[in-house]
Structures are given as C-alpha cells and as structure tokens.
Amino acid sequence: MPAKPEPIPITKPVFGQRERDLIQTPLDTGWVVQGPWVERFEKAFMDFSGAGNAIAVTNCTTGLHLILHALRIGPGDEVIVPSFTFIASANAVEYTGARPVFCDIELSTFNIDVAAAAKLITPRTKAIMPVSLFGLSADLKALNELADAHGIYVIEDAACALGARLNGFHAGTRCTAASFSFHPRKAVTTGEGGMVTTNDPELADLISKLRNHGAEATDLERHLAQGGSLLPAFNLLGFNYRMTDFQGALGVAQMERAADILAARRRAAAVYDSSLKNAAGLIPPHAPDGYVHAYQSYVVIFGPRDKISLQHLDDMNRRRNQLMATMEAQGITVRQGTHAVHTLGYYAEKYRLSPEELPNSLMADRLSITLPLFADISSEQQERVVSFLIPGGVNA
Ligand SMILES: Cc1ncc(COP(=O)(O)O)c(C=O)c1O
C-alpha cells in the first residue's frame, strides 16, 4: 500500500524560543494574573494597529459583550449583525438582552451588505456590528456614514482582522469600538484571548474597569502606588474578563513576529490566487481596491458562477461536501467558511427566519471552503491542495 501523505492542517500557530522564554517569566515573578505583561501586550497592540486604546480580555466574545454592555445596549434594543459569521457575534448581543437583527452579506466579500443593513434600521436600532470576516475589513467607511446619519454605534467584530486595512487604516480603528480574537485559528494566538480597541478614552476607561469586576484600580496600579493595601472602590457591576499574564507574555512575543506572520500568510494566499485564477469550478477570495486582506482564512466559493444560486444550491452543496470529504480522506484539512447563523438551532428556533430569507449567507454557508493556510505552508503542500481544485487535477 502506498504511504499516506503527511496531513496538512487548516492552520498552525508560529511559536519559537521567544514564546517559550517569555511565557516562563510569570512563573519566576509569581505575577500570573493581569499585570505587567498584559499591559505590554496592550501597548504592542496599539503600536501595531494605531488604535488609541487597547484593553486585553479573555476572548473576543467577552470583548464584544463588554463593548455592548458599556454602551448600555440591552433589552428592547436591536443590533444589526451579519447572518454569515461565527455564532459568537450574535451571542454577544443575546447576552445583553438586545435582539440581533440578521442582515445578509455580499458574496464577493463575505461581509455585511451595507444597503441591506440600511433597510433594517428602526427606532430601536442602537448599533451595527459589522464583522471583518476572514481578514477582510467590512466597508467601515459606508457603515460609519450610515451610523452617523442615524446616531447609532458601529461595533466591529474584528476577531479575524489583525493586519486587515481599509484605506490605510487598520481594522478596529474606525468604529466606536472593536474586538479581536487570539484563538489559535487566528494569525497570532494566546490560546484564548481577545483585545478591545477604541479611540474613545472614556469608553476605554469604562471597559477597562468592567473587565476587572468594576474595580476603579487594577491590581498592578495598586501594587505600584502608595496605599495599595486599601481595596479600590467598586462603583459598577463588572465582570471577570481579565487576561492572564502568561497570555500577555505570549501575546508580546507573538506581536513581535506579527508582521512576518502576516506577510508569510499573504505570500501563501498569493500562491493560491495565481494557481486558482483559471479554476472554472470555484471563486477565490478577492480584496476590492483600498483593502488589504489579512487572510486569517483563505475561503473560496465552490461552484462556477452560473451555478451559484438558490436553485442549484442543494446539488452544489452535495458536490462541495463530496470534495471536502475527498480532500480530508487524503489528509488535507478543509472546513466550510463559517455559519449562516440564522439557520443554527438556537437562532432558528428563537427568531424563525427561513434559511432562504438571507440567501447570500445561506449560499456562503453551503458553498464555502476554507483551504489550509499558515505561515510556513510549503509550495508542495499548496500544490497538493490545488491539485484537487483545478481542472486536470487529481479530482477532475
Ligand atoms: C467572526 C468571529 N467572531 C467572534 C469569534 C469569537 O472569538 P473568541 O473565540 O476569541 O471568543 C470568532 C472566533 O472564531 C470569529 O471568527
């Protein structure tokens, strides 16, 4: 029997000696909760992104929850959320008691359709939550114009958006506030982890307190100041959404190599782009003018353009699933892009939208394929992936 080829993972974090060294340091100092390393990580994140403030939290989802809570969004309010996203975007809205109002996406970018969002605004709408999906910024310029015209907030789910830029501005810097993720599927990782960014210092201060039980001062501030033996005031109902200093140290090491990781991912994406440009059976991702794609995921749509319609969806979905199963059997890890959230049990039951009501999200759910992409993916590995996707390839 021929030897089975080496499996190709969907992604792979980049860790080296620097990560190993820095993550040890809290063990030596004994300072393991949110402390000096978290503060350095926040600073590194601000330097990298240009955000005015950065507040580290336990993950992107809790970051989104804190933003919504700090903006006093709650029962009776509506937040417009794209229906093609990871479930956490909508869940964060649900936690507050507000209603996530699902909006369809544009298939060409996988991001929220701004014209469709405009039609969903009601007197109850308090915010729009665009998701900069797979590393491509949502159209923040148009979304900000829309939000300004209606006096509502823009809360960016920037989970995937480290390195994403629109007209020169990094994700998370042109909105009321944003939340990033450091889950291992992201370009840089702290295991679990998240970062809230905002250019509003008062909002930043409030979110910073809310993540730490509502305390008016952090442990580190008390430790460094005179009178630290006195407990701080607690004037707010806060949460414990603090990042540990192990994660902060790991985050500092990761931010030192973030530019290199992102550049390597872009080079790998360019290899897919050129290999797949003549593939009649699928549509590769595309960054419109003015956008810099960060390629948190490289997501293609399966199917020739004339078959991407609700009419052909069941057939194309069956064929996509077959292709993914074939690739997986050959050790190539592939995944569907993400979910049409309005079709998932909890949301389908609660809000009773028909799957076809948001057709692009449904098609993206049923037809997307995420290809393996990581900083040190080899050209041989990419050739193996591509061989299943182009005419004349092993699966033709
Ligand atoms: C679009 C989007 N939003 C939110 C999240 C949640 O991030 P976290 O796992 O850090 O809470 C993810 C993570 O995969 C995501 O892709």
The per-residue pLDDT for range 230-243, each reduced to its tens digit, is: 889 999 999 999 99
Residue nearest (by alpha carbon) to ligand 1 atom 14: 86
Phi, psi (deg, nearest 5) at residue 320 = -60, -45
Instruction: Mark whether 12 is an active-site residue.
Output: no
Residue 331 has pLDDT above 70, yes or no: yes
Q: How far is the CA of 2 from the centre of ligand 1 (A)?
A: 39
Output the pLDDT for position 2.
Answer: 64
Name the phi and psi angles at 243, rounded to 5. Answer: -85, 150
How many residues make up the chain in this entry?
396
Catalytic residue among 4, 43, 141, 186: 186
pLDDT for 294 = 98
Pseudo-torsion of CA 303, 307, 310, 312, nearest 10°?
Answer: -90
Amino acid at 360: N
Among 65, 45, 9, residue whose Cα is nearest residue 250: 45
Q: How far is CA 68 from CA 119, 209, 369, in A?
A: 22, 14, 31
Could you tell me which residues come within 8 angstroms of residue 318 by beta carbon, excluding any fewer than 6 positions away?
A: none
pTM of the model: 0.97
Q: What's the gap in Å between 195 CA and the centre of ligand 1?
A: 11
Checking if the pLDDT of 284 tops 50, the result is: yes
What's the pLDDT tens digit per position in 347-384? 999 999 999 999 999 999 999 999 999 999 999 999 99
Q: Are 281 and 302 in contact (CB under 8 A)?
A: yes
pLDDT score recorded for residue 31: 94
- Band of the pLDDT at 213, cuts 50, 70, 90? very high
Residues 269, 274, 278, 279, CA torsion sign: negative
d(CA 373, CA 267): 10
Token couple for 224: 């460094």
pLDDT at 396 over 60: no
Atom of ligand 1 nearest to the CA of 338: 16
